[in-house]
């Protein structure tokens, strides 16, 4: 086929051909194909879409054009790509067998090189989910992911805080990073955007400052302020990790083996020396029981040791949202309030606890004295000043106050229909309502909880507020809230049967 120029911007290695042409060659949309030009070849995904190129022609995406050095006009050969040998390893894992480090490396390399597509990645993740992996396999997976990814050398010891996630409103990094950095411990934090939650740490930080940097910019910014909070995806250090995350998100699975390897390889890529890992536990969190949390923690510790990273795990309460605010702007505002001493206890307690562990791990506080040191950094205003330094280094407004953060202009209150105690605040329901309201894309959208578990409320008291940037989303979120009831009050009438007065 002749390559029609110019290349199409896409985001994947894509080859667009005429549907008739594809059918004649026995090819279908989303088939994995091999595109050959002279002695070079690249794997690509086929898109059979009409009206773009003529018969006998193919259009390449920028990514494919780059891989083959296409400029348009070349004759390329297109064949259905067989699965690479590494898929044999995935099949063995499907049967429950253990893989050798070489087999695991070949899988990771083929994901990086587009020879294994999303379906094969799905098979790999599902096999991990259903069969599990040995510690040796997780080590090999971690090592392989580090190998195919990029690295940043900060030239000084790096400390990190990471949460395995699953609990809405977890804006603790916006407190932990400045607390730790204010004590001179270097913490250039890479963080994710929301995957299934209403706000990832990167989304929340972005309310205060840009978070997308090249590795060079990240290095400079972090060294200048002694800390940073940036978006990991923007650094493009681990494209493989992003593929795993994207497919896992689509399948709604996060196998522990892959999660451990993805987290640790990301931290190794920035030269992490020590890390505190937050494992929230509770109903509706990723980890539901203490026993599971302990098992995960000990596996993480062992994995860290194998790579010379000192890890401490903090098992925290994850049965309801952290603090009161859920959604990027609402969370950023709550974090600023907490840094100025006006935050909810659940947030400052958790943040100073984790920060204290890091201070001890880095030798910046005596054993047992970390939490007090963290509290002092918070109460003295040092942590707040450090956050402003970081915001400034990342290009945000260092003078921003909680009241300056714009939250959604449309809002509504949901009130209790009964007197009683709040028996449950559902993580998944709060997250779903905040997302329905527009979070994380619409930064001002989210949920502000007025009551949490154990609170005593009277009929007519506000249980929570929903914020949105658009009326239509507010309506949608409110409808979902009536259905899901994120905040449950004992004694509340759940249903009336039959449904008339």
- Which residues 6+ apart lie within 8 Å of 174 measured at CB? 201, 204, 205, 229, 331, 332, 335, 339, 387
Q: How far is the CB of 25 from a second copy (least distance, A)?
A: 7
**195/372 with CB nearer a second copy:** 195
Neighbours of 162 (CB within 10 A): 23
3-state DSSP assignment of residue 326: strand
Q: Phi and psi for 462 in degrees, rounded to 5?
A: -75, 125
Q: How far is the CB of 9 from a second copy (least distance, A)?
A: 3
247 makes contact with a second copy (CB under 8 A): yes
Write the burial class of residue 340 (CB in 10 Å: 0-12 exposed, 13-18 middle, 19+ buried).
middle
Q: How far is the CB of 83 from a second copy (least distance, A)?
A: 6
98 makes contact with a second copy (CB under 8 A): no
Among 71, 151, 236, 246, binds a second copy (CB under 8 A): 246
Please name which of 158, 24, 152, 126 lies closest in space to residue 78, comparing C-alpha atoms. 24
**Any alpha helices (H) in 207-327, and if so which ranges?**
215-225, 232-235, 239-251, 256-269, 290-306
Which stretch in 15-23, 148-156, 162-170, 343-351 sits in contact with a second copy by CB under 8 A? Answer: 15-23
- Angular region, 96: left φ>0, alpha ψ -120 to 50, beta rest: left
- Beta strands, E only, 18-165: 32-37, 40-48, 57-61, 77-80, 158-163
273 makes contact with a second copy (CB under 8 A): no
Which stretch in 35-43, 122-130, 163-171, 460-468 sits in contact with a second copy by CB under 8 A? Answer: 122-130
Distance CA 433, CA 333 (A): 19
Distance CA 237, CA 261 (A): 14
324 makes contact with a second copy (CB under 8 A): no
Contact 145, 261 (CB under 8 A): yes
Catalytic residue list contains 254: yes
To the nearest 10 degrees (0 to 180), the angle between helices 370-379 and 382-393 is 70
Q: How far is the CB of 252 from a second copy (least distance, A)?
A: 6
Distance CA 108, CA 143 (A): 10
Distance CA 225, CA 458 (A): 47
- Mark 427-446 with x for binding to a second copy (rule: CB under 8 A) and - for no binding: -------------xx-----
Q: How far is the CB of 446 from a second copy (least distance, A)?
A: 16
- Beta strands, E only, 266-401: 272-281, 310-317, 325-326
187 makes contact with a second copy (CB under 8 A): no
Among 57, 74, 109, 129, binds a second copy (CB under 8 A): 129
**64/313 with CB nearer a second copy:** 64
Task: Report the site for a second copy in 405-424 (rule: CB under 8 A).
Answer: none
Among 2, 41, 74, 83, binds a second copy (CB under 8 A): 83
Tokens representing residue 415 in the block: 């009130």
Cα of 103 vs its chain's centroid, Å: 27
Among 68, 108, 126, 457, binds a second copy (CB under 8 A): 126
Q: How far is the CB of 268 from a second copy (least distance, A)?
A: 26
- The residue from 31, 254, 419, 499 that is catalytic is 254
Size of residue set near a second copy by CB under 8 A: 51
122 makes contact with a second copy (CB under 8 A): yes
Tokens representing residue 171 in the block: 């804006």
Among 120, 254, 384, 469, binds a second copy (CB under 8 A): 120
State how beta strands 325-326 and 420-425 pair.
unpaired
Q: How far is the CB of 50 from a second copy (least distance, A)?
A: 3
Contact 411, 373 (CB under 8 A): no
Q: How far is the CB of 441 from a second copy (least distance, A)?
A: 5
Tokens representing residue 414 in the block: 């949901």
220 makes contact with a second copy (CB under 8 A): no
Distance CA 275, CA 467 (A): 35
**131/273 with CB nearer a second copy:** 131
Which stretch in 100-108, 112-120, 294-302, 359-367 sits in contact with a second copy by CB under 8 A? Answer: 112-120
55 makes contact with a second copy (CB under 8 A): no
Neighbours of 39 (CB within 10 A): 5
37 makes contact with a second copy (CB under 8 A): no
Q: How far is the CB of 107 from a second copy (least distance, A)?
A: 14
11 makes contact with a second copy (CB under 8 A): yes
127 makes contact with a second copy (CB under 8 A): yes
Direct distance between the N- and C-terminal alpha carbons of the chain, in angstroms, rounded to an integer: 71
Give the residue numbers annotated as catalytic, written as ranges.
254
Residues at the site binding a second copy, with contacts judged by CB under 8 A: 6, 8-12, 14, 16, 19-20, 22-23, 25-26, 28-32, 47-52, 59, 61, 83, 87, 91, 94, 96, 117-120, 122-123, 126-127, 129-131, 246-247, 250-253, 440-441
């Amino acid at each position: 086929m002749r390559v029609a120029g110019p290349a199409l911007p896409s985001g994947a290695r894509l080859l667009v051909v005429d549907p008739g042409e594809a059918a004649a060659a026995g090819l279908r949309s989303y088939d994995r194909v091999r595109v050959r030009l002279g002695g070079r070849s690249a794997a690509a995904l086929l898109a059979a879409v009409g009206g773009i190129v003529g018969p006998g022609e193919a259009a390449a995406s920028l990514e494919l054009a780059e891989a083959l050095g296409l400029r348009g006009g070349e004759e390329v050969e297109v064949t259905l790509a067989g699965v690479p040998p590494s898929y044999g390893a995935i099949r063995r894992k499907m049967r429950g067998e253990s893989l050798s480090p070489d087999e695991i490396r070949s899988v990771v390399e083929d994901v990086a090189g587009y020879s294994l597509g999303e379906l094969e990645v799905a098979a790999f993740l599902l096999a991990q989910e259903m069969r599990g992996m040995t510690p040796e396999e997780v080590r090999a997976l971690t090592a392989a992911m580090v190998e195919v990814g990029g690295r940043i050398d900060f030239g000084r010891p790096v400390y990190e805080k990471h949460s395995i996630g699953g609990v809405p409103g977890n804006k603790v990094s916006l407190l932990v990073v400045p607390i730790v950095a204010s004590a001179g411990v270097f913490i250039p934090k890479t963080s994710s955007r929301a995957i299934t939650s209403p706000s990832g740490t990167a989304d929340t930080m972005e309310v205060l400052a840009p978070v997308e940097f090249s590795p060079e910019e990240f290095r400079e910014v972090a060294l200048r302020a002694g800390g940073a909070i940036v978006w990991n995806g923007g650094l493009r250090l681990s494209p493989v990790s992003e593929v795993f995350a994207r497919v896992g998100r689509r399948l709604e699975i996060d196998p522990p083996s892959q999660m451990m390897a993805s987290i640790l390889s990301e931290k190794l890529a920035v030269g992490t020396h020590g890390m505190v890992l937050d494992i929230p536990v509770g109903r509706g969190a990723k980890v539901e029981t203490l026993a599971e949390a302990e098992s995960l923690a000990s596996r993480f510790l062992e994995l860290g040791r194998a790579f010379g990273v000192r890890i401490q795990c903090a098992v925290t309460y994850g049965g309801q949202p952290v603090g009161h605010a859920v959604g990027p702007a609402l969370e950023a505002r709550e974090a600023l309030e907490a840094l100025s001493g006006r935050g909810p206890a659940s947030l400052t307690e958790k943040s100073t606890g984790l920060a204290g562990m890091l201070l001890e791990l880095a030798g910046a506080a005596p054993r047992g004295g970390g939490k007090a040191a963290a509290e002092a950094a918070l109460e003295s205003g040092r942590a707040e000043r450090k956050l402003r330094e970081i915001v400034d280094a990342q290009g945000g407004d260092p003078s921003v106050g909680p009241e300056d953060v714009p939250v959604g202009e449309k809002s509504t209150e949901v009130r209790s229909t009964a007197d009683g105690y709040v028996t449950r605040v559902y993580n998944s329901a709060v997250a779903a309502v905040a997302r329905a309201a527009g979070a994380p894309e619409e930064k001002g959208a989210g949920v502000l909880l007025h009551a949490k578990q154990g609170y005593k409320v009277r009929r007519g008291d506000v249980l929570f507020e929903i914020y949105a940037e658009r009326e239509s989303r507010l309506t949608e979120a409110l409808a979902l809230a009536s259905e899901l009831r994120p905040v449950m009050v004992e004694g509340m009438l759940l249903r009336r049967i039959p449904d008339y007065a």
